[in-house]
Amino acid sequence: MNKKVKAAILAYKKKAAVMAKKELAVAKKRFNAAHSQASAAVKKNPEKAVLIATALGAALGAAATAVAMKKRK
């Protein structure tokens, strides 16, 4: 490879790293906001949170069982 190509690749790599760090920071902020909202909702309605978690667990368990049974056949 010539020097210009190597320099262009290196510059692109650095730019990509900067962009990735910025996107990661945005994703972390969004996750933390969602986490805070979820925590507040659970504290406000603990019974509802338990019912939702139970239903979700049952649904995931049923789906996993269906997949496992399908693979056996």
Residue 42: other Cβ atoms inside 10 A: 14
- The token duo for 59 is 């649904």
Q: Helix or strand or coil: residue 1?
A: coil
Query: C-alpha 63: how far from its chain's center?
Result: 21
How far is 69 from 56, CA to CA, in rounded Å? 20
Cβ proximity of 42 and 49 under 8 Å: yes
pLDDT digit of tens for each residue in the chain (73 aa)?
A: 788 899 999 999 999 999 999 999 999 999 999 999 999 999 999 999 999 999 999 999 999 999 999 887 6
How far is 3 from 14, CA to CA, in rounded Å? 16
Domain ranges of the chain: 3-72
